[in-house]
Structure 1
Amino acid sequence: MTTASAIHPRKLGRTGPAVFPIALGCMGMSGMYGPADEPESLATIHAAIDAGVTILDTGDFYGMGHNEMLLSQALRFFREKVLISVKFGAQRGPDGAWLGYDARPAAVKTALAYSLKRLGVDHIDIYRPARLDPKVPIEDTIGSIAEMIQAGYVRHIGLSEVGPETIRRAAAVHPIVDLQIEYSLISRSPESRIFPALKELGIAVTAYGVLSRGLLSGSSNSGPGDIRNRFPRFAAENQAQNQKLVARLAEIATRRDITQSQLAIAWALAKEPSIIPVIGARTRTQLNESLAALEVSLTSEEVAAIEAAVPADAIAGTRYDTHQMQILDSEK
C-alpha cells in the first residue's frame, strides 16, 4: 500500500495546510448506502490514518449524529494526526426525512456546539455549510463561522456545492480553504465556471463522488436503505447506457493492469494539483484499492483519451433528482 512518505502532499487552498492527496469520506459508515459494519469502519479509519490520510470528512446529519460519534471512537488516541472536516445545516426528521437547510448564525453556533460534543474535541479543523441556505445571506453564515474561528472553536472555513457568485461573496468575508463538490469523469460541470473562480481565489477542491457513488467502480444498490435509489443515474431505465460507459473505463483500466476505480481516482488526481479526492471507503479493502491510485501516473494525452472514451455528456440521468438539481447553487 502507498505510504505517506511515498507521496507528495497537496495544499488545502492558499491559506490552508498541506494535506495527504486523498481524503477519507465517512458518510457511508453511517448507513447511507445500506448497513455498515462498525468494527470494520473503525478499522478502516485507523488504516487510513496509518497510511497518512489527514482529512476525515463527515457531516452532523450523517446518521443523525452517528457518524460524528463513530469518529469520536476512532480518534480517541489519534486526534492530532488528522483534520476533521464537518458539514452542517441539513435538517432531518426522526424518520430520516430531509427537511431543508438552516444556516442562520444562531443555527451555525448551535450545530457547532453539538458537533464538538459528539466528536469529543475542542475544535473542528474545517467547518462548512452543507448547502446554501436560500433564506440566509452567505455573508451571515460565513461571518458567524469566522466568529467561531476567533473564539478558537474552528480553524478553517470550507464551502459545499455552491456556485461562483456565492464563492466570491463568501471569500470576501473570510478566506475559504476548499470547496467540496461532486466531481468525476462523468460529472465535470464544475470545470466550466466554478474551477476558474477557485483558481483565481486560491481555493482547493475536495472532490466527492469521484467514483460516482460506486457507478464507476461497478457497485450496485444494496437495498431499500441505499441512498442511490433516489439518484437518476442508478434508475433501471438509465442503467444500460451507463454500464456501456463503465465498460469502456474498465477496458482502459485492464490495459493498465489496474482497477477501474483506481483509474477514475488517478484521473481526478491528474486533472489539477488543487484537487483532493474524497474517497468513501467503508472497508480496508476498498481503502487499499483507492490509495493504490496514487501510484498511477497519467499523462495529459492519457487523460484526454480517457475523457474521449467516457464522455461526460453521454451519461444517462442527472447526479441528483430534479428537485435537488433545481435548488443546488452549484448548478445555477
Structure 2
Amino acid sequence: MKKRQLGNSDLYVSEISLGCMSLGTDKEDAKSMIDRALDAGINYLDTADLYDFGKNEQIVGEAIQGRREDLVIGTKVGNNFTPGEESWTWDPSKEHIKSGVKDSLHRLGTDYIDLYQLHGGTIEDPIDKSIEAFEELKSEGYIREYGISSIRPNVIREYVDRSNIVSVMSQYNALDRRPEEEVLDLLHDHNISLLARGPLAKGMLSSKGSGVARQKADNGFLSYSHEEMLDLTKKWQEFSSEERTPTALALQYVLHHPAVASAVFGASSLEQIEDNLTFLNSTELTEQTYNRIQSLTRAVTYDKHR
C-alpha cells in the first residue's frame, strides 16, 4: 500500500483508509473488518468521540491492541455529550477540547493521538482559542498533529491562515466536486492535505452503485435529479473493466489531485472492505479517463455552509 505525507508532518497515511463510523457496535464484527483493512496495508483509521457516543472509539481501541505503533489514529472533538445519551451540543471551546482529548485517549486505550481534528466549525467559533488548545495539546504530547473536519470554505480559510493544521477532512467524490472549486488548490499551496471522506458517494459509485442509487437517490444527490443519478450510476458501471472496478475508479478519482493524502471510505461489512481493496490491483488512472469522468459529472460549488 502506497503512503502519502500528511501535510508537512511526519505522518504518512495509506492512500486508502478506513473511516470507522459505520462499523457498528458488534465488537467481533468490527474487529474482523479492522483486521482485514490493516492486513491489506491500510494504516490510517478515522473515528470520532461522537460516533456511537464514544462506543466507536472504544471498539477501535480494543481492535488495535498490539498494533498501535504501526498505525495512524485520527479522532475528533467539538461535540459535548454524555455517554449513553443521544444528544449533543456544539462546543469548540478550549476547555472542552483539552478535556475531550483525555476521554478519547481513555476510550482508545492509548497515550497519544496521531491526528486530532475539530469535528465541524463555524465562522462564529472562538477560532483562536480552539487553535490554542490544539497547540497546547501538541506541546504537551497528547497529540502529534491536528486538523479540522469541515466543508465550509470560510472556516477552512481561517484555519489555513491562522493555524498549523496539517489536514482538512471534507466530503469529496466524483459527484461532489465542490472541493475542486475553492479548497484543493488552496490546501496544496499551503502544504496541507485533504482527507477525502465519502469517496463512494454513499455507495452510489461503488460496484453496486446502480442498486444503491435506486434506494438512496429518491430525492437526487446535490444538484443531480433522481433520473440523472440513475443514468449516471449506470454509465459509471460501464467504466468497469479488468483494469479496475467502479469502486476502485471512485477512489482513484479523488486521489488524482496532489492535495489529497487519502480516500477515507466507510464500511459496514467485510464484503464492502473487500470491494474497496480492489483498488490495490487496479491499473493507474490515466489523464484521459480522469477527463472522461469530469465530462460525465459536473462541477458543483458551495452555495450553503459558507
Q: Is TM > 0.5 for Structure 1 vs Structure 2?
A: yes
Report the TM range for the smaller structure's normalisation. Answer: 0.7 to 0.9
Corresponding pairs, count:
299
Q: How many Å separate the matches in 1 of 2:27 and 2:283? A: 31
Does structure 2 retain, via aligned residues, the 8 Å contact 1:126–1:156? yes
- Are the counterparts in 2 of residues 48 and 287 from structure 1 also a CA contact under 8 Å? yes
1:195–1:44: structure 2 CA closer, same or farther, 3 Å change rule? Answer: same
Q: For 2:154 and 2:123, how far apart are their aligned partners in 1?
A: 13
C-alpha separation in 1, matches of 2:9 and 2:219: 37
**Which residue of 1 is the match for residue 249 of structure 2?**
263
1:199-214 to structure 2, matched below 5 A, reads 199-214=188-203
Which amino acid in 2 is paired with 1:296? T
2:8 maps to 1:14: yes
Within-5 A mapping of 1:56-67: 56-67=45-56
Identity %: 28
Q: How does 1:85-234 map to 2 (within 5 A)?
A: 85-91=74-80, 96-97=86-87, 99-217=88-206, 218=209, 220=212, 233=220
Give the distance between the partners of 2:283 and 2:293, measured in 1 at CA. Answer: 14
Find the partner of 1:246 among 229, 233, 254: 233
How far off is 1:144 after superposition?
A: 0.5
Cα shift at 1:201: 0.8
Q: Select 2:289's aligned residue among 286, 289, 302.
A: 302
Q: Check the 8 A contact 1:13/1:274 in 2, yes or no.
A: no
Aligned match of 2:271 in 268, 275, 285? 285
**1:71-112 deviations in whole A, cap 9, x for unaligned?**
111011111111110111134576634x44210000101211
Gaps of 5+ in 2: none
Q: Distance in 2 between matches of 1:85 and 1:286?
A: 21
Q: Is this contact kept in 1: 2:184–2:259, CA < 8 A?
A: no
The 1-side partners of 2:18 and 2:60 are apart by: 12
Matches within 5 A, 1:48-63: 48-63=37-52
Q: Secondary structure at the match of 2:22?
A: helix
Equivalent pair of 1:127/1:156 in contact (CA under 8 Å): yes
Task: Provide the C-alpha distance between the structure 2 equivalents of 1:202 and 1:81, rounded to a whole number of angstroms.
Answer: 24
Q: From the superposition, tell whether residues 164 and 200 of structure 1 become closer, same or farther in structure 2 (CA, over 3 Å).
A: farther
Cα distance in structure 2, aligned partners of 1:162 and 1:311? 18
| 1:241 shift after superposition | 2.8
Q: 1:298 to 1:164 in 2, by over 3 A?
A: same
CA RMSD of aligned residues (A): 2.8
**What TM-score do you get using the length of structure 2 for normalisation?**
0.87
Q: One-letter code of the match for 1:242?
A: M
**Counterpart of 1:271 in structure 2: which amino acid?**
H
